[in-house]
């Protein structure tokens, strides 16, 4: 475990970086050109970044990114 102290400005920047990274990963996960193993790797990374974000985000913002954790149903 690692502990860090941030100033308010640094915390806002960290929040911004995490949100932008999750936005990019959500976009990548919706890309049909990517195959299963790549999407699985992105999903694992997304879960890690999401847990980091959950420590600093207000619940209202958190719910926006929690949707990305739902398993996608396979349509036939």
The structural domains of the chain, with segments of one domain joined by +, span 11-67
pLDDT in tens, 40-76: 999 999 999 999 999 999 888 888 888 656 555 544 4
Q: What is the pTM of this model?
A: 0.78
Nearest CA among 69, 23, 30, 18 for reference residue 47: 69
- In the prediction, which pLDDT does 61 show? 86
**Phi and psi, residue 7, nearest 5°:** -75, 170
Alpha helices, H only, the chain: 8-29, 36-54, 59-66
Q: Using CA atoms, how far apart are residues 48 and 21, in angstroms rounded to an integer?
A: 11
Phi-psi bin for 42: left (phi > 0), alpha (psi -120 to 50), beta?
alpha
Mean pLDDT of 1-29: 93
Mean predicted lDDT score pLDDT of the chain: 87
């Amino acid at each position: 475990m690692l502990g860090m102290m941030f100033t308010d400005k640094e915390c806002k920047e960290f929040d911004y970086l995490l949100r932008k990274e999750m936005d990019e990963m959500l976009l990548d996960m919706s890309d049909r050109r990517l195959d299963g193993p790549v999407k699985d790797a992105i999903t694992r990374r997304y879960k890690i970044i999401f847990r980091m974000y959950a420590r600093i985000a207000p619940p209202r913002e958190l719910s926006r990114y929690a949707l990305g954790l739902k398993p996608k149903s396979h349509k036939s």
